Structure 1
Amino acid sequence: MGLAPALVAALYRSACLAELDALKPGNVHAYAAGHRMAVADFVTSAEVSAPPLAAAGARVGARVLGAVAATMEAVGQNTNLGILLLCAPLARAAERATSVAAVLADLDARDSQDVFAAIRRAGPGGLGQAGRHDVAEAAPASLLDAMAEAAPRDAIARAYVTDLADIDAVGLPALAAARAAGLAPTWCTTAVHLAYLAAVEDSHVRRKHGPAVAAAVRAEAEALRAGLDLGAAPVAALLAFDRDLKERGINPGTSADFTVATLFADALRTARAGGHAGLHAGAREGIPAARDNADGT
């Protein structure tokens, strides 16, 4: 049997809040200020986007568009487009008790129209123009065709044509390894974020700063990750990298999007297997109160 929409919504909110608790260099988090948004905007976004993201029987595009509209109405800026694009197929698959691959294979013209409308409504930073399937134009009949066109330069588009392969190849193994090492939940989340940042050039960085900067950030993250012991809670080292990225105006938002999606995918799988999914209950011990911060998905 599939999961009830109320549970799917709760697990989605939990994943969003858990990601905010973790120290993720360059992104919005509870440890340090940065950019131009507030942590509270992301908390509000999680709350208002959860019901449409988990709407009973809704298709992927309708989930994304409804959640983007709710977010823009509540906070007036794009805080979660990438998160929603990744989490909507996961939510539909969990409700229908089917695979993500089956959900993506079932995408139709309605999904394409709604996703294109959601992208236009959110107006993600650094989007630019495309030679084919530009979001400023009418949506194509096939959303997967549009995603395939963008896949070489955008990890979220690539996720749609690979059945969210990066979650299985990068995120979930990093989460499992962190748990096996006995890390606290927030440090498990940091481990997931660093795994993405070190393994995959961040699409948001690439859009705004170009491929050379995206490649350099990935290499910097890989070097930092290799020398870190997350079990020792290396706050100072991570905050130093966080400050460096923010001083350069670099915001690896796509890595944060995949981190949320990984936590959500893990919680859904646990719930579908009949286990306890570990709902977020607020800031955990040792995590500073959320302060003004920013991201930009």
Structure 2
Amino acid sequence: EAVRATRLAVATNTNLGIILLAGPLLCAAQMTGGALHDNLDAVLRAMSMDDTRAVFEAIVAAAPGGLGEAANDVRQEPKVHLLEAMREAGDRDMIARQYVTGFGDVFGVGLAALEAALARGEDGMWPTVFAYMAFLAGFPDSHVVRNHGAETANQARQEALAVQAALHASDDDASRIRLLMGLDRRLKADNVNPGTSADLTVATLLVHTLGVQLA
């Protein structure tokens, strides 16, 4: 339903990755007792074939054939459990990888970068920026790989690594913003949109917010 609502509003799959990441996290947050990460593992293990079917339908509604075009085509009736389908796609899709690693990159990369930024006194948008840059500099963005190939994705990652280092070396907001705007212009000039890194950043912010609320 969330994918259909997005399609009606903006005629694109803008929210697909966010929906796939946020759904299990919100289910885990509704469980009583236990840590969010532990509850998330329980949610992922408990997913049924009905959940698999619903996820496949959502992906088809957003972008037909996006997940598992090889072994598990989302346009067909699912033959395997959702975690198995995600495992098959996990080596080429960072969203799928979260399902089979217990959202390992969200907690271990994004949340770690966000909390480190907060711990050293970053405020405003900067903790979010550092979480985003941790993903963009840490991995070839799956969305970029799908649309432009691995070489372009790796080039974007190398640029992000340089910008990430420069951001850490500066404490001047204006200088930092110029660095970010320069990276943004270069990416846009090549029509490169690191959407998966953005989706993972949203999931990171959700985990942080839920952690604060549930503490």
Q: TM-score, normalised by structure 2?
A: 0.91
C-alpha distance in structure 1 between counterparts of 2:16 and 2:26, whole Å:
15
Is 1:67 the counterpart of 2:15? The answer is no
Corresponding position of 1:116: 56
| Aligned counterpart, 1:186 | 125
2:183 maps to: 241
Indicate how the Cα distance of structure 1 residues 128 and 180 shifts in structure 2: closer, same or farther if over 3 A, else same. closer
- For structure 2, the 5+ residue unaligned runs are none
Structure 2 CA distance for aligned equivalents of residues 128 and 79 of structure 1: 16
Do structure 1's residue 232 and structure 2's residue 204 form an aligned pair?
no
Tell me the CA shift for residue 145 of structure 1.
0.9
- Would you say the 8 A contact 2:110–2:135 is kept in 1? yes
Once residues 140 and 206 of structure 1 are traced to their aligned partners in structure 2, the CA distance between those partners, rounded to angstroms, is: 27
Separation (CA, whole Å) in 2 of partners of 1:196 and 1:123: 23
Q: Displacement of 1:135 after TM fit?
A: 1.5
| Distance in 2 (alpha carbons) for counterparts of 1:217 and 1:127 | 22
- Residue in 1 aligned with 2:205? 263
Report how many aligned residue pairs link the two structures: 207
Distance 2:190 2:68 in 1: 24
C-alpha deviation, 1:94, in angstroms: 0.2
Q: Which aligned pairs between 1:94-113 and structure 2 lie closer than 5 A?
A: 94-97=29-32, 99-113=39-53
Alpha-carbon distance between aligned partners in 2 of 1:77 and 1:168, rounded to the nearest angstrom: 28
**Greater displacement, 178-187 / 146-155:** 178-187
Do the aligned partners of 2:66 and 2:74 also contact (CA within 8 Å) in 1?
A: no
Residue 106 (structure 2) pairs with residue 167 (structure 1): yes
Call closer, same or farther: CA 1:139–1:128 in 2, change over 3 Å.
closer
Tell me which residue corresponds to 2:150: 211
Q: Which runs of 4+ in 1 moved over 6 A?
A: none
Matched ranges for 1:125-144 at <5 A = 127=66, 130-144=69-83
Q: Which has the higher contact order (CA 8 A, sep 6+)?
A: 1
Give the Å deviation of 1:214: 1.3
Q: CA deviation at 1:267?
A: 0.6
Paired residue type of 1:150: A
List aligned pairs for 1:82-93, cutoff 5 A. 82-93=17-28
Counterpart-to-counterpart distance in 2, 1:172 and 1:129? 28
CA positional deviation for 1:128: 8.2
SS of match in other structure, 2:167: coil
Contact map agreement 1:127 1:207 (CA 8 A) in 2? no
User: Would the alpha carbon gap of residues 128 and 168 (structure 1) be closer, same or farther in structure 2, given more than 3 Å must change?
Assistant: closer
Q: Distance in 1 between matches of 2:177 and 2:97?
A: 32
**Unaligned regions of 5+ residues in structure 1, if any?**
1-65, 274-297
Report the CA distance shift for 1:94/1:129 in structure 2 as closer, same or farther (over 3 A).
Answer: closer
Alignment of 1:270-281 (within 5 A): 270-273=212-215
Q: Is the 8 A contact 2:67 2:74 kept in 1?
A: no
| Contact persistence 1:183–1:231 (CA under 8 A) | no
Identity of matched residues, %:
45
- Residue type of the partner of 2:111? L
- CA shift, 1:70, in A, is 1.9
CA RMSD, Structure 1 to Structure 2 (Å) = 1.7
Structure 1 length normalisation: TM-score?
Answer: 0.67
Moved more, 228-237 or 77-86: 228-237
* C-alpha contact (below 8 Å) 1:171/1:196 kept by paired residues: yes
Q: How far did 1:149 drift? A: 0.5
Aligned to 1:220: 159
> Which deviates more from structure 2 when the two are superposed, residues 201-210 or residues 134-143?
134-143
Counterpart in the other structure of 1:290: none
**Aligned match of 2:93:** 154
Q: CA contact under 8 A between 2:94 and 2:142: conserved in structure 1?
A: yes
Distance in 1, matches of 2:110 and 2:87, equals: 22
